[in-house]
C-alpha cells in the first residue's frame, strides 16, 4: 500500500536530552522533535535548549501543553489563561517559537467537567488559536490518548486543529482506533494531518512483543527485523502520516528509521482491525 512517504518524529519524552542523539537524528534526515512541558520536573525545554540550543533551528519542534505543576504533582487543566501562558513559556524556554503546539490529553479534564465539556474544549482550543495569531507558535494541534470522549463534542463551534495526534500501533484497541478515525473525520482532517504516538505501547522489551508477529500487516517484511515491522505497521493502525517515537541511542534511532522502508498491506490491516473488533465484542465492558 503506497501513499505519502512516512515521516519520523523523534519523541523527547522520557528520553535523555543528549546532543549525540540530535546530531544522529539530523544525520539520518530526521528533522522533527516532539516534546512536552511536564517531563524532567517541568524543565524539559530548558534542559533541551541548554544542551542543544544551537541545533534546534534545524528541527521542527512540537511541544505539548496541558499539564501544570500542582500541590500533589502534575495536574491537568484546560484553563485558557494557563494554556496561553504555557505556550509563552515553551517559546521562552526553547529560545524560539514552536512550529506546532499540541493541547495534550484534553479528555483528562473533560471527564471532570462534564456539564461544561464543550465550552471547556472550545475555550482551550481558542487559547491556542490566539497563541498562533500572536505569533507564539506557527500552528496548534490536539494530542489525545483516548479520543472517545471528544467525539460527541466536535461541531462547527470547536476550532479545528492543524494536526491530530493519537495512539498508533498493534497494541491499540479497536475502540481507540475507531474513535481516532471518527475524530479525524469529524474535524475534517486528511491523513497528512494525523500523527501517531507510542507505537510500542511504552516499551519494545514488553513480553507481548514475543507473542505477536508484527509482520502480519506488511506486504514484504523480509528486509525488516527486530522492532522494525512493528514500527512500520504503526503508520496504518490507524492511518497516520507521522509517528513520534522515543530513542535513547543513535543506533536504535537508525534501526527505526530503517523500518520505514517496509510497506503495509491494506487488506491485512483491515483484517487485523476486524479481528480486534471481534475480540473486543467478546469481552466484558
Is residue 282 pLDDT above 80, yes or no? no
C-alpha cell at position 240: 497516520
User: Where residue 258 falls among pLDDT bands split at 50, 70, 90?
Assistant: very high
Residue 224 is predicted with a pLDDT of 84
pLDDT at 115: 58
Highest mean pLDDT among 15-24, 151-160, 261-270: 151-160
Question: Which range among 73-77, 78-82, 218-222 has the greatest average pLDDT?
Answer: 78-82
Q: What pLDDT is recorded for position 142? A: 98
Name the packing angle between helices 44-52 and 19-27 (round to 10°).
Answer: 70
Give the integer Cα–Cα distance in Å for 79 and 281.
37
Write down the pLDDT at residue 1: 37
Q: Which of 213, 245, 242 is nearest to 226 (CA)?
A: 213
- What pLDDT was estimated at residue 201? 85
pLDDT reading at 208 higher than 80 = no
pLDDT band at residue 150 using 50, 70 and 90 as cut-offs: very high
252-278 average pLDDT score: 89
More confident: 254 or 283: 254
pLDDT digits (tens, 9 = 90+) for 4-37: 568 999 999 766 678 999 999 999 999 999 999 8
Work out the mean pLDDT of the chain and round it to a whole number: 89
Residue 58's pLDDT is 96
> What distance in Å separates the CA atoms of residue 123 and residue 144, rounded to the nearest whole number?
17
More confident position, 173 or 283: 173
Banded pLDDT at 283 (limits 50, 70, 90): low
What's the whole-number mean pLDDT along residues 149-174? Answer: 94
Does residue 104 or residue 205 have the better pLDDT? 104
The pLDDT of residue 284: 44
Burial (CB < 10 A; 0-12, 13-18, 19+), residue 126, is: middle
What tens digit of pLDDT does each residue of 88-145 get? Answer: 999 999 999 999 999 999 999 987 655 578 999 999 999 999 999 999 999 999 999 9
User: Using an 8 Å Cβ cutoff, are 68 and 86 in contact?
Assistant: yes
Tell me phi and psi for residue 30, to 5 degrees: -85, 120
pLDDT given for residue 16 in this prediction: 65
* Higher per-residue confidence, 248 vs 31: 31
Q: What's the CA gap between 177 and 120, in Å, rounded?
A: 25
Integer Cα distance of 227 and 254 in angstroms: 11
Question: What is the pLDDT, as a whole number, of residue 210?
Answer: 75
Report the 10 Å Cβ neighbour count for 64. Answer: 27
The maximal CA–CA distance of the chain, rounded, in angstroms, is 53
Angle between helix axes 174-186 and 266-281 (nearest 10 degrees) is: 120
Going by C-alpha positions, the residue among 163, 81, 88 that lies closest to residue 124 is 81
Predicted confidence at residue 40, as pLDDT, reads 84
Q: Supply 280's cell numbers.
A: 473486543
Question: Residue 45: pLDDT above 60?
Answer: yes
Amino acid at each position: 500500500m503506497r501513499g505519502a512517504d512516512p515521516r519520523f518524529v523523534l519523541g523527547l519524552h522520557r528520553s535523555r536530552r543528549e546532543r549525540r542523539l540530535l546530531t544522529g537524528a539530523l544525520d539520518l534526515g530526521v528533522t522533527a522533535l516532539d516534546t512536552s512541558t511536564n517531563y524532567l520536573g517541568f524543565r524539559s525545554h530548558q534542559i533541551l535548549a541548554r544542551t542543544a540550543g544551537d541545533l534546534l533551528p534545524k528541527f521542527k519542534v512540537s511541544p505539548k501543553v496541558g499539564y501544570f505543576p500542582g500541590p500533589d504533582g502534575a495536574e491537568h487543566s484546560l484553563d485558557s489563561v494557563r494554556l496561553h501562558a504555557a505556550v509563552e513559556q515553551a517559546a521562552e524556554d526553547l529560545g524560539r517559537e514552536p512550529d506546532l503546539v499540541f493541547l495534550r490529553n484534553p479528555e483528562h479534564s473533560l471527564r471532570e467537567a462534564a456539564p461544561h465539556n464543550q465550552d471547556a474544549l472550545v475555550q482551550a482550543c481558542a487559547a491556542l488559536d490566539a497563541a498562533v495569531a500572536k505569533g507564539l507558535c506557527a500552528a496548534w494541534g490536539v494530542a489525545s490518548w483516548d479520543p472517545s470522549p471528544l467525539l460527541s463534542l466536535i461541531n462547527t463551534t470547536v476550532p479545528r486543529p492543524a494536526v491530530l495526534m493519537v495512539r498508533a500501533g498493534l497494541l491499540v484497541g479497536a475502540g481507540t482506533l475507531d474513535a481516532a478515525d471518527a475524530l479525524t473525520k469529524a474535524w475534517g482532517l486528511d491523513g497528512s494531518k494525523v500523527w501517531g504516538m507510542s507505537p510500542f505501547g511504552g516499551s519494545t522489551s514488553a513480553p507481548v512483543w514475543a507473542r505477536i508477529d508484527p509482520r502480519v500487516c506488511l506486504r514484504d517484511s523480509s528486509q525488516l527485523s527486530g522492532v522494525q515491522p512493528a514500527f512500520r505497521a504503526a503508520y496504518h493502525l490507524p492511518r497516520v502520516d507521522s509517528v513520534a517515537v522515543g530513542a535513547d541511542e543513535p543506533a536504535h534511532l537508525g534501526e527505526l528509521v530503517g523500518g520505514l522502508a517496509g510497506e503495509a498491506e491494506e487488506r491485512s490491516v483491515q483484517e487485523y482491525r476486524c479481528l480486534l473488533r471481534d475480540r473486543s465484542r467478546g469481552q466484558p465492558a
